[in-house]
Chain A
Amino acid sequence: MEQGEAAPPPGGSEEEEDDLGYRLFPDRNKKQQSFLVRSLFTFHNKCQLMLRMTLNTNPYAQLLLEAMKQSGCTVFNDRHFSCENCDGCVSGGFDSATSQIVLCQNNIRQQSHMNRVVTHELIHAFDHCRAHVDWFKNVKHLACSEIRAANLSGDCTLMNEIARFKFGLKGHHQTCVRDRAIRSILAVRKVSKETAEKAVDEVFDACFNDLEPFGRIPHSKTDAKRAYRDFQNRDRYNANL
């Protein structure tokens, strides 16, 4: 199973870290392995290569990087991304305490998956950059970011859903976004399913329709490229409106 979700801050008691999903990222705050061990016995190098490919060529990621730069949060590969081993069922996370996107090198094996995870986590980072998101204490804030990430990253395309054996057509995208947001909340917060569902339902309309910085739901790279073009032309748009 794959998920991208917000990761907890370092420090705190073990119980607090478990409450915040820290257990999913056991390598956070551990001393980094030696270069040789990392290169020979982990997928670290492959993760780094795929990440570089995504950041250089994927229009979803390029738009998000540009939007974050315009918002004052330039993303640097070495500082804001970290390839680590994670728990078996997670693909990545955003650690707001260190302003880092964690990529699970042991769970991301394909370039398309890397594209999607990077986009998903960059949306969390973008929200963190532009708004006062209370990741740890406000479940609605977390729910909103998860709804946006599932909606805009391509997590819920028809093909991805079919691969998960989830079948539906009319409006199924929204069902998928809702379910994945709930799943992500439950993975990183010790809240009941009812609490997670209630939070998602309360913010769903507002957050599903918040399409920043894309301006549209990008269903393909063509849509993402178009959205990037519109983003670059936004000054003209605003001036002539």
Chain B
Amino acid sequence: MARAGRGETHPLPHAGEGAQSSGVGHDLRGLAAPVEPGPPRPCEDYRWEWKHCRGLRHAFHHYYAHGELPACDRWRDDYEACRAWERGRAAAAQEALCKSERARVMEKQKYPPVWTFRKSPPPDWYIPLDQDKPS
């Protein structure tokens, strides 16, 4: 699911703990070799989302939360496009899949945010508690 929808509007520097990064290209970071693009998610993820969407439990939860039954065809289409991408690198499949995922990101940005995002974490997050107490 898209989590980067707001990443571009409120970038926060990592706290020096080291960024957790996984996925394509991570092992090649020390080398100059270019990364071959792949599907945004593993194809198995699309299959899982599609099967999960069609399940009774999810249908119930969706009806309880949104008042309507879920639409799962999009996950199926994405899964098929992903498989086509993996098999033959079909340009149409790549484009369709990326378009679908970009649309998911845009849907999450449908409403303007209520608050302003920070560029750095709160300055007093790590201040020891004794220093917070008024003298």
| Chain A interfacial positions (CB closer than 8 Å to B) | 10-11, 29, 66, 69-74, 79, 97-100, 127-134, 140-141, 144, 158, 169-174, 203, 205-207, 209-213, 215-217, 219-220, 226-227, 230-241
State the CA gap A170–B116 with chains docked (Å).
33
B24 to A239, Cβ gap below 8 A?
yes
A72 to B24, Cβ gap below 8 A?
no
* B51 contacts across to A, CB distance below 8 A: none
- Chain A's closest residue to B61 (CB) is A219
B115 to A233, Cβ gap below 8 A?
no
A209 to B110, Cβ gap below 8 A?
yes
| Chain B interfacial positions (CB closer than 8 Å to A) | 1-4, 6-7, 10, 12-15, 17, 19-26, 35, 37-41, 45, 48, 52, 57-58, 61, 63-67, 98, 101-102, 105, 108, 110-118, 120-122, 124-129, 132-134
- Chain B's closest residue to A213 (CB) is B3
Can you list 7 A-B pairs, Cβ within 8 angstroms, ordered by A?
A29-B133, A70-B14, A73-B122, A170-B63, A174-B66, A233-B22, A240-B38
A99 to B115, Cβ gap below 8 A?
no
B66 to A171, Cβ gap below 8 A?
yes
* A217 contacts across to B, CB distance below 8 A: 61, 65
* A237 contacts across to B, CB distance below 8 A: 2-4, 23, 40-41, 101
* B13 contacts across to A, CB distance below 8 A: 72
- Chain B's closest residue to A177 (CB) is B65
Instruction: Given A171-B65, A241-B40, answer yes or no on A236-B115 (Cβ-Cβ < 8 Å).
Output: no
- Chain B's closest residue to A234 (CB) is B3
User: 8 tightest CB-CB pairs across the interface, nearest first?
Assistant: A236-B23, A171-B67, A72-B121, A215-B1, A206-B111, A173-B65, A72-B15, A219-B61
* A240 contacts across to B, CB distance below 8 A: 23-24, 37-40, 98
Sample of 16 further A-B pairs with CB below 8 A, known A131-B118, A206-B111: A10-B133, A99-B125, A169-B63, A171-B65, A206-B114, A207-B114, A215-B2, A216-B1, A217-B61, A219-B61, A231-B3, A234-B4, A237-B4, A237-B101, A239-B23, A241-B101
- The residue among B15, B48, B112 with the most chain A CB atoms within 10 A of its own CB is B15
Instruction: Given A236-B40, A237-B2, answer yes or no on A74-B15 (Cβ-Cβ < 8 Å).
Output: yes
* A171 contacts across to B, CB distance below 8 A: 63-67
Instruction: Report A106 CB to chain B, min CB distance, Å.
Output: 21
Contact of A133 among B45, B101, B115 (CB under 8 A): B115
- Chain B's closest residue to A72 (CB) is B121
A169 to B64, Cβ gap below 8 A?
yes
- Chain B's closest residue to A76 (CB) is B126
* B110 contacts across to A, CB distance below 8 A: 209
Instruction: Report A160 CB to chain B, min CB distance, Å.
Output: 12
Instruction: Given A131-B118, A171-B65, A173-B64, answer yes or no on A70-B108 (Cβ-Cβ < 8 Å).
Output: no
- Chain A's closest residue to B112 (CB) is A206
* A97 contacts across to B, CB distance below 8 A: 132
Contact of B116 among A73, A79, A128, A132 (CB under 8 A): A132
Instruction: Given A206-B111, A240-B39, A240-B40, answer yes or no on A130-B65 (Cβ-Cβ < 8 Å).
Output: no
